[in-house]
């Protein structure tokens, strides 16, 4: 069943209220409730999502809450560049089948052993972790896998360009860039912030 997705540009106040609520801020202390949240938005609203995210960071800072804001695409490209593989990847990309190329990219910048530890290192004394750049990384970085691996000491909020729906298995599913996921649809332990 598909659920309506509100326009992120009109929901800033709602999102801020939820982020300041105990259900989010205290979720990192819970052993049972997931402390991972997703803010889905229309992929065409990428600019509005970025503006809302920056405004939320400013509003949270003004209220004494530090946010660690990580753009996964920027992080991915920096790590790819640090491996010295960026130019090689660009050169060989046309020669490989799409799936083989994606596997190669995953081997070069491994989510579990490279990206997740880098994110955890950047959190520092932040109260919240914001992740963005999900659409730009797709399909090289599968965010559902990254979120499964990440267990940050603070609540994590992922700004997600795509559609949220509840699958026939009763679990939440998110279609990145509104592209229905084939076969074994990825699911997220994260909760939809709009449902809190």
| 183 pLDDT above the threshold of 80 | no
Please name the helix (run of DSSP H) or strand (run of DSSP E) that holds residue 109, with its range, or none: none
Q: Output the six-digit token pair for 39.
A: 């803010």
* Nearest-angstrom CA–CA distance, 115 and 141: 10
Residue range 101-152, pLDDT digits in tens: 777 787 788 888 889 999 999 999 999 999 999 888 888 787 777 888 888 9
Residue 99, strand partner residues: none
Cβ–Cβ under 8 Å, residues 73 and 137:
yes
Give me the pLDDT at residue 1, please.
42
* Percent of the chain clearing pLDDT 70 (strictly above): 83
pTM of the model: 0.86
Torsion of CA 142, 9, 70, 89, to 10 degrees: 50
Q: What are the extents of the domains in the chain?
A: 8-179
| 180 pLDDT above the threshold of 70 | no
| 25 pLDDT above the threshold of 70 | yes
């Amino acid at each position: 069943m598909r659920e309506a997705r509100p326009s992120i540009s009109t929901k800033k106040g709602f999102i801020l209220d939820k982020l300041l609520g105990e259900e989010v801020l205290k979720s990192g202390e819970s052993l049972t409730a997931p402390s991972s949240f997703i803010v889905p938005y229309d992929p065409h609203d990428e600019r509005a999502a970025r503006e809302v995210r920056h405004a939320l960071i400013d509003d949270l800072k003004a209220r004494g809450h530090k946010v660690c804001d990580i753009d996964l695409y920027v992080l991915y490209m920096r790590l790819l560049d640090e491996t010295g593989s960026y130019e090689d990847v660009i050169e060989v990309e046309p020669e490989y089948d799409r799936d083989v190329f994606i596997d190669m990219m995953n081997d070069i910048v491994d989510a579990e052993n490279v990206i997740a530890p880098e994110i955890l290192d950047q959190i520092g004394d932040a109260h919240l972790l914001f992740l963005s750049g999900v659409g730009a990384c797709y399909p090289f970085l599968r965010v559902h896998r990254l979120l499964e691996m990440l267990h940050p000491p603070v609540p994590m909020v992922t700004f997600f360009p795509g559609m949220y729906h509840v699958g026939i298995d009763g679990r939440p599913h998110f279609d990145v860039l509104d592209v229905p996921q084939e076969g074994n649809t990825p699911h997220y332990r994260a909760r939809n912030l709009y449902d809190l």
